[in-house]
Structure 1
């Protein structure tokens, strides 16, 4: 193989590995962030109160989605 193509291939492989490693570390950091902020809940902590209390709208007592209030834009005039 030509020395230039070996160098090009080496740079490509190094860049690919670096990009994949960056994605893996970002996913790891995002997972930790989600866990610490309650996005992911451990099944053993089901008895704890939720950060977003839900009201039951059905007769069977199943929780419904939290009620969302629309954002109001401030009048800047």
Structure 2
């Protein structure tokens, strides 16, 4: 079973969240995958995916803010 190794990017409080609650976040997992906390927009975006993209029934389309991803960029390994 995977566990969280570290946060990728800055914590929500550093991105302007006063409470740190209900904010997008990205974490690196022990098996090399990434976990994302974001807004589930699967129903809104599923039919708008490009023709060469698809998702399994168990997958969701999750959205994070631009700032969350940009702040995480420096922490994402190249390989």
Q: What TM bracket, shorter-length normalisation?
A: under 0.3
- Higher-RCO chain (CA-CA 8 Å, sequence separation at least 6): 2
TM-score by length of 1: 0.20
Choose between structure 1 and 2: higher strand proportion.
2
TM-score of the superposition, structure 2-length normalised? 0.19
Q: Larger helix proportion, structure 1 or 2?
A: 1
Q: Which has the larger radius of gyration?
A: 1
